[in-house]
Amino acid sequence: MPEKTRIFVDMDGTLCGWRSGADMNELLRPGFFTEMECQTNVAEAVNLLAGADDVDVYILSAVPAESKTATDEKNAWLDENLIMVPVERRIFCHWGTPKSAVIEGGIRSTDILLDDYSRNLHEWANSEAHAVKVYNGINGSHGSWHGDAVVSTMSPMDIVRYIRQSIVRYAASQTIGANHM
């Protein structure tokens, strides 16, 4: 039986809006991460995927190492906004740590990262896994990401449909690549 596709979902700028221009004092202020605005369409899409039997959805979010409250606040935010990803599937790493490096057992070629930050997407894709960018209105101005992407204003069903199509396309490209070796 093939392994389920694992979808790892970023929080800041993906599930919730990001306040660009926030300085470190603001980022370390207790309450900063619980006050983030939910990107409802992305959150609903993640819940639809989390309820499916053929994929496993994880939260994969970075926190400032200096913060004593960020992880607890992010978990509270997920609970308050009814994100249907259980606590045991919530992974937090420190800012600057490649997200691909914190996956227990390593990432698999069938794993997907849903993130708004191109650097994270490039690091993930360089690990031979698949990445999908979430455009949120404040990112993407440099145009360094040329892979699969969704827009946070798309309907939840359109986001899910695109991610599912992306899974199929990526799997097909992996099969074609393996057949040419």
The helix (H) or strand (E) run that includes residue 169 is helix 156-179
Nearest to residue 84, comparing CAs of 133, 43, 55? 43
Q: Cβ contacts of residue 30 below 8 Å, gap of 6+?
A: 69, 73
Q: How long, in residues, is the chain? A: 181
Cα dihedral: 32, 34, 36, 39 (round 10)? 160
Q: Which residue has the tokens 């809006």?
A: 17
pLDDT in tens, 115-130: 999 999 999 999 889 9
**What is the pTM for the complete model shown?**
0.93
Contact yes or no for 112/133 (Cβ under 8 A):
no
The residues that bridge with 94 in the sheet, in sequence order, are 63
pLDDT in tens, 106-161: 999 999 999 999 999 999 999 889 999 999 988 876 788 999 999 999 999 999 99
